[in-house]
């Protein structure tokens, strides 16, 4: 997940929103206690799977071992399995004993180029080369827990398949963090390859663990819950010259610096921030090799976040205008790539589906523990699934109770840490949401 904020840890409001359905839909049923027992029975397995994946992380489009483990587990449950979907993705199809609709449940599998600092017995020691640099590999966003939770859901539901009125499709997705440059991947490629077809999916549910939301709490929001994301690259071309005589060349370092400063005015001066949030961040600058050589080229790399499509388009336009205008004023040239490699739409939750499923979530977590949150400027390619069919994406608490929110390590950091006691709620919530939707 493209996430770097602490909004999820703050409870903004409590919601009690009930969708009018038949009184029997969520009433206690003979199989309810049995389902709870099944969820309890897989908790230790889920934790062990998560630890195994955590110790053996794999980057985007390279989730070979993870995919093999998932496929092996699904086959052992008698679930129909498809592999090699969108390169390394795995899809399981569980056909219930009764006719009905099709629910998809999704988990992402990839890790990040982050070197782990957490002192765990199952900490990652994996190293690799990423973007020409030697880096560690770590599940620094919780995707290992997503995979393990969905494996647990599959095991629970496979044991009650004769009672399921419909079909459940388990989607284990690669490359949520973005495919390597020059490659396709992730949810966008899965959709392109027809993952929501044959059988045709009616709705899709997904969760994301949050290291800054307390264990036992579920955060949700109808409509836009996460921002769009576009990465960008601005390449500035100057004229190389000796550092002692800058007047004989065109300095791309100074030009790039002016561009970075000017980009900061897009959000502060061009965006209607009382309507929605937006972000333009330059995260990387590369250029030059010596103190006394003005280089020929400098490269800026950054990210764009928006919670409104019109604002998103305006940001793209202003980045191009500013980069070209500043470069022209300095005698340099620029090339602007938007996106550079990653582009996800706004993650949108169907308001009708949210209202419909809230009672199911509240039944599992308790009404007071299912809380309405603000939209955040993190991004998720679950958005591609939710563009095709109604979707509901929510956040599952993973912060230990004794850790203050301000001290809980953020996602995408070397110190990222999860309380595994929250996984069981993830299993029960996804399993019950799928069943409750089908039984309606």
What are the tens digits of pLDDT across the range 417-434?
999 999 999 999 999 999
Q: What are phi and psi of 17, to 5 degrees?
A: -120, 115
356 has a pLDDT exceeding 80: yes
Q: How confident is the model at residue 181 (pLDDT cuts 50, 70, 90)?
A: confident
Q: Which two tokens stand for residue 107?
A: 């988990």
Residue 404 in this model has a pLDDT that exceeds 70 = yes
Please give the pLDDT value at position 280: 98
Q: Which long-range contacts (CB under 8 A, 24 or more apart) does 156-159 make?
A: 156/35, 156/38, 156/39, 156/42, 156/427, 156/431, 157/94, 157/431, 157/434, 157/435, 158/77, 158/78, 158/79, 158/94, 159/38
Mean pLDDT computed over 395-412: 96
Res 334: pLDDT: 98
Render pLDDT for 38-59 as a digit per residue (tens, 0 to 9).
999 999 999 999 999 999 999 9
Query: Taking 60 as the threshold, does the pLDDT of residue 11 lie above it?
Result: no
Q: Quickly tell me which residue has 């969820």 as its tokens.
A: 39
Q: Which of 155, 177, 188, 420 is catalytic?
A: 420
pLDDT tens-digit readout, 159-177: 999 999 999 999 999 999 9
The structure tokens listed for 11 are: 């409870």
Give the pLDDT confidence score for residue 2 in this predicted structure.
55
Mean pLDDT confidence for 367-372: 98
Q: Tell whether the model's pLDDT for residue 5 goes beyond 80.
A: no
Does residue 147 have a pLDDT over 50?
Answer: yes
pLDDT band at 31 (very low <50, low <70, confident <90, very high): low
Q: What is the pTM of this model?
A: 0.89
The active-site residue out of 344, 348, 393, 437 is 344
Instruction: Tell me the β-bridge partners of 82.
Output: 91
Catalytic residue list contains 176: no
Q: Write down the mean pLDDT value for the chain.
A: 93
- Find out whether 309 and 296 touch, Cβ atoms under 8 Å: no
pLDDT at 132: 87
Pairing type for strands 278-286 and 228-237 reads: unpaired
Active site residue 384: no
- The single residue listed with the structure tokens 């009125």 is 165
Model pLDDT, residue 10: 44
262-275 pLDDT tens trace: 999 999 999 999 99
* Res. 1: pLDDT tops 80: no
Per the CB < 8 A criterion, the answer to whether 416 and 410 are in contact is yes
Higher pLDDT, 37 or 4: 37
* Complete domains list, the chain, with CATH: 7-227+346-439 (3.40.630.10), 233-337 (3.30.70.360)
């Amino acid at each position: 997940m493209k996430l770097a904020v602490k909004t999820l840890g703050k409870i903004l409001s409590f919601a009690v929103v009930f969708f009018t359905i038949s009184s029997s839909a969520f009433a206690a049923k003979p199989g309810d206690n049995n389902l709870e027992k099944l969820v309890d029975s897989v908790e230790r397995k889920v934790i062990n799977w998560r630890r195994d994946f955590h110790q053996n992380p794999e980057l985007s489009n390279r989730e070979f071992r993870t995919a093999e483990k998932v496929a092996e587990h699904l086959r052992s449950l008698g679930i129909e399995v498809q592999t090699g979907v969108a390169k390394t993705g795995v899809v399981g199809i569980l056909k219930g004993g009764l006719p009905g609709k099709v629910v998809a449940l999704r988990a992402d599998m990839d890790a990040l180029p982050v070197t782990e600092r957490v002192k765990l017995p199952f900490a990652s020691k994996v190293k690799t080369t990423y973007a020409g640099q030697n880096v560690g590999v770590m599940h620094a966003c919780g995707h290992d827990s997503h995979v393990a939770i969905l494996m647990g859901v599959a095991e629970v539901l496979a044991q009650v398949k004769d009672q399921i009125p419909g079909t459940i499709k388990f989607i284990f997705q690669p490359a949520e963090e973005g495919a390597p440059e020059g490659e396709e991947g992730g949810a966008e490629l899965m959709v392109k390859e027809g993952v929501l077809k044959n059988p045709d999916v009616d709705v899709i549910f997904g969760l994301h663990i949050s290291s800054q939301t307390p264990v036992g709490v579920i955060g949700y929001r109808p409509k836009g819950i996460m921002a769009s994301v576009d990465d960008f690259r601005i390449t500035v071309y100057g004229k190389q010259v000796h550092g002692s005589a800058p007047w004989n060349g065109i300095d791309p370092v100074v030009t790039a610096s002016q561009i970075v400063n000017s980009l900061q005015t897009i959000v502060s001066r061009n965006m209607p921030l009382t309507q929605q949030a937006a972000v333009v961040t330059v995260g990387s600058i590369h250029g030059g090799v010596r103190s006394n050589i003005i280089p020929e080229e400098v490269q800026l790399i950054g990210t764009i976040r928006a919670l409104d499509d019109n604002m998103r388009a305006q940001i793209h336009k202003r980045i191009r205008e500013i980069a070209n205008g500043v470069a022209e004023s300095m005698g340099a040239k620029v090339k602007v790539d938007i996106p550079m490699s990653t582009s996800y739409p706004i993650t949108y939750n169907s308001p009708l589906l949210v209202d419909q499923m809230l009672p199911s979530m509240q039944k599992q977590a308790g009404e007071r523990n299912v809380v309405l949150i603000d939209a955040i400027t993190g991004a998720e390619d679950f958005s591609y699934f939710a563009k095709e069919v109604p979707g509901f994406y929510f956040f599952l608490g993973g912060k230990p109770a004794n850790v203050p929110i301000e001290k809980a390590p953020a996602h995408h950091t070397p110190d990222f840490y999860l309380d595994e006691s929250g996984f069981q709620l993830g299993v029960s919530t996804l399993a019950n949401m799928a069943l409750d939707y089908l039984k309606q």
